[in-house]
A and B are shown apart, each in its own frame.
Chain A
Amino acid sequence: MIYREAGDFKTSYRADGQTFPIRLDRWGYYAVLAVAFGIIPFVINDYWANAVLVPFLIYAIAALGLNILTGYAGQVSLGTGGFMAVGAYAVYKLMTSFPDVSILIHILLAGGITAGVGVLFGLPSLRIKGFYLAVATLAAQFFLVWLFNKVPWFYNYSASGQITAPTREVLGFAVTGPATSAPAKYLVCLVLAFLLAWVARNLTRGSIGRKWMAIRDMDIAAEIIGVDPLRAKLSAFAVSSFFIGIAGALLFAVYLGAAEVGEAFGINKSFLVLFMIIIGGLGSIFGSFAGAAFMVLLPVLLKNVLVGNLGWPTDLAAHIELMIVGALIVTFLIVEPHGLARLWRLTKEKLRLWPFPH
């Protein structure tokens, strides 16, 4: 009854083209932002920050990045873990080499460095397509992990090769290092996630996003109508890697605080982020967030329910949890291959017509 565009008049093209054309959507969006910025920072505790919200926001950034590459530009990548490692090690080197420069600048720079590496590994995409490309990006994954493990310069010659984030402050509040408070961690990630989502949204509906989608839908046809595949594909790799690099930098510096490359940025990370965008919905900003929420929360939820509430032995619970996660993924793909974003869209379509079904 309330949720519809009737009576919601647009008087300019600008208003017509906005992200949330329906008033209720807009209100909902503002309400979510208000809660995220205005309420959660005051009530958040360590558990919620470290186990749920911070990883959710960081993975949402990574998922946004991969979604740009895979969902919008159609290039399947399994190198996400490796690119996140680039972001993490870049920020570590920057933090320790230039301790006086703000950490926020370091994080952005780390994204920039990752973008450069991403373009380099994106070059083969001009020749290689489909699954061949997906497997080829694994070369980036394995090579980068090996490199960071092997060259002592990257981990400042520490005995074991672990990197640990020193304490850095923003406006007098520690945002990295052990003394970081839960709200500080959360807010840093939230601000970045919000800004990057905004950038992603506006990039993807602008001319560059349209070029990506043209390449995704059919690259030869796109070339014929004047889209330069070289620039389109490489720009997708660059932007995507920028996002993923920032996610990696945050994952290491803000969330984990210490990392070992093979363990924290292994092949499983690549699959995890790919899962997020598939479950969430390819080619959707909302989907990136929904998928990240799903994949971060599901294991925590299952573990708490099975072990905490039902009191099962942990090993049985852990094995059955794997089965449930696997079964849920398959079920999801069967029921709605286009992800949570499509479900959301369908719900909205239904709502618009409600209570009249036709």
Chain B
Amino acid sequence: MKLTFPALVAAAVMAAGPVLADLVVPNLSYRTGPYGANGTQYADGFNDYFTLLNERDGGIGGQIVQVPECETAYNTEKGVECYEATKDTGALIYNPLSTGITYQLIPKVAVDKKVLYTPGYGRTSAKNGRVFEWVFNAPANYWDGASVAVKYLLDQNEGSLEGKTIALVYHNSAYGKEPIRTLQELGEKHGFSLTELPVEAPGQEQKSQWLQIRREQPDYVIMYGWGVMNQVAIQEAANIRFPMENFIGIWWAGSEIDVQPAGAAADGYKSLTFNGVGMDYPLYDDLQTHVIDPGKASQGGQHVGSAVYSRGMYAAVVIAEAIRTAQEMAGTAEITPEQLRDGFENLSITPERLEEIGLPDFGPEIAMSCENHGGSGMARLQQWDATAGQWTLITEFTEPDQEVLSALIEEDSAAYAAEAGITPRDC
């Protein structure tokens, strides 16, 4: 038993590796497990954009992009297995869509010299490129999200949140705890008080939390939820008749599948987003002709245009642009991860460039540098329209309160540097 299994595994592994010399962008996806419904859509968007580039343009700079997919089931150990299985196949960059796996990979990528791109998730202080050389989290991170939400609320209240209360309903995990410190600081600055309401994963039963919200009547609820927690929270909010327009979710609580189970009751729910929604972009025409019609879409194209699909596609757009920048800088189409890192550090996605791609106003302007790995941190709000069954963008891209955030980021990344023994590099 013991001898035959390794032999079989060895045989299986040998056959699995993709051909070297192409651009390899592994997709560590999850299509099973408690978060499979979200992961599927994200992975589809991610795959389809690269398929489009391959089919329409013959890849990037004449190099075909290979996107080997590896199922992690949102499980850190499987994530490690996927990383190890793909890292020697010429992989350039990883985007695991899991904060847990990201934390695991952050020290590893620094040693293996791979780029880690975690848009809208992962470790927030990775924005500090002097400490986290290989990690990028543009366009926005969890703290940006919290700050943009508070800014939006400030706008709603003529610039003052004095005496207001905000309840934070959060997934009781690393991810959910991220915004607490930011919101506390912002609370001190703007004079609102914060109630913290943790929900233990998975979050099927939230009656206690929502009864408390009903008793205490906070002015606003901000939610950092994921998976089943989102659907239940939105339903419970509707049950207690909490005004939906005062309920704001982070981008991971802002997809169609989060609001649909609650039906009409979810109308008016708001969430943050850093990517455009809907199919109203010229790029989708190309996607239709080159990917969907020939039957090359991931999963048959069931989810095209959904919020999470768009976010997966947006991640692919940013990666593709970084590859392009790296190719231009290096003067060769076959880039290495080091060159891709330089590409990211010099990446600039202007509104004009987005328009060229066929996605006008799809994402915020991104300009990165050696010390800034997180871009501008801009995000916007979308609101659910239950009758039309779609999200509507209700604000422009808003910049977060960098004054508060940069101090926090400096502090957290310094703590990491001290713990891991990293000397911040000079930029």
Contact of B15 with A308 in the complex, beta carbons under 8 Å: yes
Kindly state the separation between the CA atoms of A135 and B231 in the bound complex, as whole angstroms.
29
Q: Is the CB of A262 within 8 A of B2?
A: no
A315 engages B108 (CB within 8 Å): no
Question: Using Cβ atoms and an 8 Å threshold, which residues of chain A touch B123?
Answer: 160
Min CB–CB distance B254 → chain A (angstroms): 21
**Among residues 149 to 192 in chain A, which have CB atoms less than 8 Å away from a CB atom of chain B?**
149, 158-162, 164, 166-167, 177-179
Residues of A within 8 A of B163 (CB): none
> In the complex the two chains form, is B103's CB within 8 Å of A164's CB?
yes
Select B299's contact among A166, A315, A322, A340, beta carbons within 8 Å. A315
Q: Report B285 CB to chain A, min CB distance, Å.
A: 26
Of B69, B75, B104, the contact of A257 (CB 8 Å cutoff): B104
| A263 close to B100 (CB less than 8 A) | yes
Please, how many angstroms separate the alpha-carbon atoms of A299 and B5 in the complex? 12
Query: Which chain A positions have C-beta within 8 A of B1?
Result: 290, 293-294, 340, 344
- Find chain B residues with CB under 8 A from A164 CB: 103, 106-107, 416, 419-420
B32 and A315 contact, CB distance less than 8 A: yes
- The answer, yes or no, to whether A301 is at the interface (CB within 8 Å) is yes
The distance in angstroms between the C-alpha atoms of A170 and B43, with both chains bound, is 41
A61 to chain B, nearest CB (A): 15
Cα(A100)–Cα(B152), bound, Å = 49
A299 to B86, CA, bound (A): 16
Q: Is A71 an interface residue (CB 8 A)?
A: no
Give the one of B9, B36, B78 with max A CB within 10 A: B9
Residue on B nearest A152 in the bound complex, by CB? B177
Tell me, yes or no, whether A282 is within 8 Å of chain B by CB: no
Q: Compute how far the CA of A341 lies from the CA of B76 in the bound complex, rounded to whole angstroms.
A: 30
Question: Do residues B84 and A318 form an inter-chain contact, with CB atoms below 8 A?
Answer: no
Indicate whether A304 reaches chain B with its CB closer than 8 angstroms. Answer: yes
What's the least CB distance linking A290 to chain B, in Å?
Answer: 7
With contacts A46-B87, A256-B77 known, is A304 near B100, CB below 8 A? no
> In the complex, how many angstroms separate the beta carbon of B384 from the nearest chain A beta carbon?
27
Q: Bound state CA distance, A167 and B107, in angstroms? A: 10
Q: Which residues of B contact A313 (CB under 8 A)?
A: 299
CB pair A297 B16 closer than 8 Å? no
* Other-chain residue from A96, A160, A256, A319 in contact with B177 (beta carbon distance below 8 A): A160
In chain B, residues 43-71, which have Cβ atoms closer than 8 Å to a Cβ of chain A?
69-71
Q: A164-B419, A262-B172, A301-B5 are in contact. Are A50 and B12 (CB under 8 A)?
A: no
Known interface pairs A50-B80, A52-B9, A297-B9. Does A178 touch B107 (Cβ–Cβ under 8 Å)? yes
Which residues of chain A are within 8 angstroms of B100 by Cβ–Cβ distance? 162, 260, 263-264
* Contacting pair B84 A315 (CB below 8 A): no
How far apart sit A160 and B181, CA to CA, in the bound complex (Å)? 10
Per-residue contact bits, chain B 27-49, to A (CB 8 Å; 1 contact, 0 not)? 00101100010001000000000
Most buried by A among B12, B76, B110, B174: B174
From the candidates A167, A305, A322, name the one contacting B421 in the complex (CB within 8 A): A167
Are A300 and B106 CB-contacts (below 8 A) given A158-B415, A160-B123, A262-B172? no
CA distance A51 to B88 in the complex (A): 13
With A51-B81, A304-B12: A257-B107 Cβ-Cβ less than 8 Å: yes
Tell me, in angstroms, the Cα distance from A284 to B5 when the chains sit together: 21
Question: When A46-B84, A47-B84 are in contact, do A178 and B12 touch as well, CB less than 8 Å?
Answer: no
CA of A297 to CA of B172, assembled, Å: 32
Given A146-B200, A160-B174, A264-B100, decide whether A179 and B2 contact each other with a Cβ distance below 8 A: no
**Interface core residue of B16, B88, B107 (most chain A CB under 10 Å):** B107
Distance between Cα atoms of A285 and B419 in the complex (Å): 39
| Cα A46 to Cα B111 with chains together (Å) | 12
B267 → chain A, closest Cβ, in Å? Answer: 31
Q: Is A307 an interface residue (CB 8 A)?
A: yes
Residues of A108-133 contacting chain B, CB below 8 A: none
Cβ B76 vs Cβ A308 within 8 A: no
CA distance A149 to B177 in the complex (A): 10
B402 interface residue (CB < 8 Å to A): no
Chain B nearest CB, measured from A115 CB (Å): 25
Q: Let me know if B13 is at the binding interface, CB within 8 A.
A: yes
Q: Determine if A55 is an interface residue (Cβ-Cβ < 8 Å).
A: yes
Question: Which residues of the other chain, A, contact B92 by a CB distance below 8 angstroms?
Answer: none
**Closest Cβ neighbor of B73 among chain A residues:** A318
* Contact assessment for B76 and A263 in the assembled complex, using a CB-CB cutoff below 8 Å: yes
Q: Are A308 and B32 in contact (CB under 8 A)?
A: no
A85 interface hit (Cβ, 8 Å): no
A260 touches B103 (CB 8 A): yes
Asked if residues B77 and A166 are in contact (CB atoms below 8 Å), the reply is no
B394 contacts the other chain (Cβ, under 8 Å)?
Answer: no
* Cβ of A317 under 8 Å from chain B: yes
> Is A318 in contact with B108, judged by CB distance below 8 angstroms?
no
Known contacts A149-B172, A178-B108, A307-B16; A52/B420 CB under 8 A? no
Q: Does A258 lie within 8 Å of B107, measured CB to CB?
A: yes
19 other A-B residue contacts (CB within 8 Å) besides A263-B75, A305-B12 = A47-B13, A160-B103, A160-B123, A161-B173, A161-B174, A161-B177, A162-B174, A164-B416, A166-B421, A178-B110, A256-B80, A259-B104, A262-B201, A264-B77, A309-B15, A309-B16, A315-B71, A319-B31, A344-B1
Can you list 19 residue pairs at the A/B interface with Cβ under 8 Å?
A: A50-B84, A149-B173, A159-B125, A166-B419, A166-B421, A178-B420, A260-B76, A260-B173, A263-B75, A263-B173, A293-B1, A300-B81, A301-B8, A301-B12, A304-B9, A307-B69, A314-B70, A319-B31, A344-B1
Give the A-binding residues of B (Cβ under 8 A). 1-2, 5-6, 8-9, 12-13, 15-16, 29, 31-32, 36, 40, 69-71, 73, 75-78, 80-81, 84-85, 87-88, 99-100, 103-104, 106-108, 110-111, 123-125, 172-175, 177-178, 181, 200-201, 299, 412, 415-416, 419-421
Residues of A within 8 A of B (CB): 45-47, 50-52, 55, 96, 146, 149, 158-162, 164, 166-167, 177-179, 255-260, 262-264, 290, 293-294, 297, 299-301, 303-305, 307-309, 313-315, 317-319, 322, 340, 344
